[in-house]
């Protein structure tokens, strides 16, 4: 176990730097999760764009109802620029947009969904917009079932009346809030772990893989598989330490707010993304020991995956092409392991399997490249 001990001692030399960086990454992850979750819901004026293809009494009633407490902009364009509207959501210029189809009234009378909404589904504004639309059509449906006619003005007047309501938070709402916090934290923790390990392990291992040491390893009787297994095992120990620091640190902060959180799936997801990251580093290390190249590849891989996997940008507002690409990225499948608070191990099995397969593919590729490099030298 000479290689195993040597690599761990090499990491131990940088223990203070590792702890400082881990603490900084942990604080960033906590701040990110706090900025994307809230235990309180406050109604506010929304900025809504409405594309009205129906131009009917029903659509006019919906527009009038939403316009009472929100900033509504109505467009009657037949071919609106959807990508431009999605970009406005991303830039926070609007909170969402509603599309009212031409056959809205027939959909309403047949009990089908009437309008299409697009918004950042992780925001409270999305919930507020959905609630307002659902409320309008619920009352309109009740009136239509009773009278057989559409009385949009009467429904709008009825909904304009208000009463004071005291809401007592239920256990389910609290559990959902706990889940949203930990999901946001785990999303960002997975990204930070990937970036941290690629940069840290890459830079430290580049020193370990100096030409002098490499030459001694190449001429030694030690088999490539033995050397690789010891090197990978030492890096796994470092990876487990990083995962434990990030995961149990979050548990310590949220001791009383863990109900409804699939902790087992989140911990498993962090372990799998760590294993995948180390396998990616294995390939990079077999190709180069240049620190500048390693740092550049680390940022390109980690940040690129984070943007395309829905961690940096809401997945719902990305274009269809970007969403299709995301489904081929391991960081996307990492987020799907704990996508729902009540997800079962059976439901999480597929994204777990995909992540494991990616890890195995990169690991095998790295072993092939390393064996060729040793043979050629």
pLDDT (tens digit per residue) in 230-272: 777 888 888 888 899 889 988 888 888 888 889 999 999 999 9
| Burial status of residue 161 (CB atoms within 10 A of its CB: 0-12, 13-18, 19 or more) | exposed
DSSP 271-320: HHHHHHHHHHHHHHHHH---HHHHHHHHHHHHHHHHHHTTSSS-GGGS-H
Please give the distance of CA 246 from its chain centroid, rounded to a whole number: 17
Mean pLDDT of the chain: 81
| Range 47-160: architecture per CATH | 3-Layer(aba) Sandwich (3.40)
Residue 36: is its pLDDT beyond 70?
no
What ranges make up the beta strands (E) of the chain?
47-52, 71-75, 96-100, 116-119
Residue 352: is its pLDDT beyond 90?
yes
Residue 130: is its pLDDT beyond 80?
yes
Please give the residue that has the higher pLDDT: either 3 or 39: 3
Percentage above 70 pLDDT, the chain: 83
User: Cβ distance 375 to 286 under 8 Å?
Assistant: no
Mean pLDDT of 213-231: 65
Please give the residue that has the higher pLDDT: either 340 or 215: 340
Map out the domains of the chain as residue ranges. 2-37+172-376, 47-160
User: Cβ distance 48 to 94 under 8 Å?
Assistant: yes
pLDDT at residue number 126: 85
Look at residue 260 and give its three-state secondary structure. Answer: coil
Residue 43: is its pLDDT beyond 70?
no
Between 42-46, 241-245, 279-283, the lowest mean confidence (pLDDT) is in 42-46
How many Cβ atoms sit within 10 Å of the Cβ of residue 329? 18
Over the stretch 70-125, which tens digit does the pLDDT of each residue have?
A: 899 998 888 888 889 889 988 888 999 999 998 888 888 888 888 998 888 777 88
User: Cβ distance 241 to 13 under 8 Å?
Assistant: no
Residue 35: is its pLDDT beyond 60?
no
- Locate 253 and state its tokens: 């902060």
pLDDT at residue number 164: 62
What are the CB-based long-range contacts (under 8 Å, 24+) for 247-253?
A: 247/189, 249/26, 250/29, 250/30, 250/182, 250/185, 250/186, 250/189, 253/30
pLDDT at residue number 128: 87
Beta 47-52 vs 71-75: how paired, if at all? parallel
pLDDT at residue number 329: 87
Residue 225: is its pLDDT beyond 70?
no
pLDDT at residue number 41: 47
Residue 335: is its pLDDT beyond 80?
yes
Residue 12: is its pLDDT beyond 90?
no
Mean pLDDT of 217-233: 68
pLDDT at residue number 337: 93
Look at residue 324 and give its three-state secondary structure. Answer: helix
pLDDT at residue number 168: 58
Beta 96-100 vs 116-119: how paired, if at all? antiparallel
Mean pLDDT of 299-305: 78
Question: Any idea which residue has 């940022």 for tokens?
Answer: 299
pLDDT at residue number 267: 94
Residue 38: is its pLDDT beyond 50?
no
Between 70-74, 139-143, 292-296, the lowest mean confidence (pLDDT) is in 292-296
Closest by Cα among 163, 162, 158, 144 to 64: 158
């Amino acid at each position: 176990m000479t290689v195993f001990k040597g690599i761990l001692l090499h990491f131990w030399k940088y223990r203070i730097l590792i702890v400082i960086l881990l603490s900084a990454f942990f604080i960033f992850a906590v701040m990110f999760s706090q900025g994307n979750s809230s235990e309180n819901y406050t109604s506010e004026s929304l900025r809504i764009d409405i594309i009205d293809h129906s131009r009917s009494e029903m659509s006019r009633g919906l527009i009038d109802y939403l316009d009472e407490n929100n900033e509504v902009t109505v467009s009657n364009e037949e071919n609106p620029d959807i990508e431009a509207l999605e970009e406005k959501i991303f830039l926070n210029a609007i909170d969402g947009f509603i599309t009212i189809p031409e056959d809205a009234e027939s959909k309403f009378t047949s009990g089908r969904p009437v309008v299409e909404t697009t918004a950042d589904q992780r925001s409270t504004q999305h919930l507020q917009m959905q609630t307002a639309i659902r409320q309008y059509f619920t009352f309109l449906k009740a009136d239509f079932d009773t009278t057989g006619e559409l009385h949009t003005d009467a429904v709008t007047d009825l909904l304009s009346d208000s009463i004071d309501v005291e809401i007592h938070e239920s256990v389910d709402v609290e559990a959902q809030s706990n889940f949203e916090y930990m999901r946001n934290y785990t999303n960002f923790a997975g990204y930070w772990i990937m970036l941290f390990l690629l940069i840290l392990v890459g830079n430290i291992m580049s020193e370990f893989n100096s030409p002098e040491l490499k030459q001694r390893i190449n001429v030694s009787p030690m088999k490539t598989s033995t050397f690789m297994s010891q090197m990978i095992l030492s890096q796994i120990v470092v990876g487990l330490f990083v995962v434990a620091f990030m995961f149990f640190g979050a548990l310590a902060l949220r001791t009383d707010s863990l109900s409804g959180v699939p902790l087992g799936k989140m911990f498993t997801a962090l372990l799998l993304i760590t294993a995948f990251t180390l396998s990616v580093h294995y390939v990079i290390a077999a190709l180069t020991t240049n620190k500048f190249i390693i740092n550049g590849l680390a940022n390109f891989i980690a940040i690129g995956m984070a943007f395309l996997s829905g961690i940096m940008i809401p997945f719902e507002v990305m274009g269809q092409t970007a969403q299709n690409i995301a489904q081929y990225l391991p960081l996307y499948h990492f987020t799907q392991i704990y996508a729902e608070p009540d997800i079962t191990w059976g439901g999480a099995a597929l994204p777990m399997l995909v992540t494991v397969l990616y890890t195995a593919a990169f690991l095998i590729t790295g072993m092939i490249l390393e064996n060729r490099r040793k043979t050629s030298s």
